[in-house]
Amino acid sequence: MSVLFDVKNKLALDVVLEKGRASERDMALQHRFQWRRNDLVIYDRGYPSFGFIYEHIKGGIDCLIRAKTVHSTIIKDFVSSGKKSLITLIFPDQDKSFKDKDYTRKTSIQVRLLRIELPGGEIEVLITTLLDSRKYPAKLFMKLYFMRWGIETFMDELKNKLKIEHFLGYSDHTILQDANCAVFYQQPPVCYREQFSTADG
């Protein structure tokens, strides 16, 4: 299950259910029909990839994604450099198939890497499409990424309080109905969307 969640207003905007082997990234991209102009979608470490970021840029939507410090050579070099922010080009994995893609091995996209030093000394690396360092200074991003905690507590409530994995039946219809009832159970009838959303599975 993937949920697109408005962390400013504490509202679930969309839910996608797939079979167990479905990719988190593929499910998250199904939320694109709920993306709105000026949204910033925030993701954790399971999501960074060229194709995933490319789809956001193509859709005119900004994203902020945490990456492992060893995710790629570019990120490892960035961590070693000690820089706090870097705008760089990234390319698709050269060993992947480009069939049915609207980009090639030579396609590049521009992203910004951010180094966040946590109080305990751990280094966190964020990738974003928000390139303007004057409009979006580096110091802003620790707070922005922390806003993801809203969906973590929401998912905890779904799993541990509402027991979302305990369905009333086994048909696709029943499972979808139960999941939607659990996700949207406390939504107000009319909601106003802020700019910050996050997705999680």
pLDDT digits (tens, 9 = 90+) for 41-90: 999 988 999 999 999 999 999 999 999 999 999 999 999 999 999 999 99
What is the rounded CA–CA span in Å between residue 120 and residue 134?
28
Average pLDDT, the chain: 84
pLDDT of residue 91: 92
Residues 51 and 143 in one domain: yes
pLDDT digits (tens, 9 = 90+) for 79-120: 999 999 999 999 998 777 888 889 888 999 999 999 999 888
As a whole number, mean pLDDT of residues 123-144 equals: 93
With a pLDDT cut of 90, the percent of the chain lying above it is 46
Residues 68 and 141 in one domain: yes
Domain limits at 78? Answer: 45-147
Higher per-residue confidence, 112 vs 20: 112
The number of folded domains in the chain is 2
Residues 116 and 193 in one domain: no
Residues 73 and 119 in one domain: yes
Across 15-24, 153-162, 187-196, least confident range: 187-196
Residues 61 and 133 in one domain: yes
Residue 125 has pLDDT above 80, yes or no: yes
pLDDT of residue 111: 97
Residues 6 and 65 in one domain: no
pLDDT of residue 190: 47
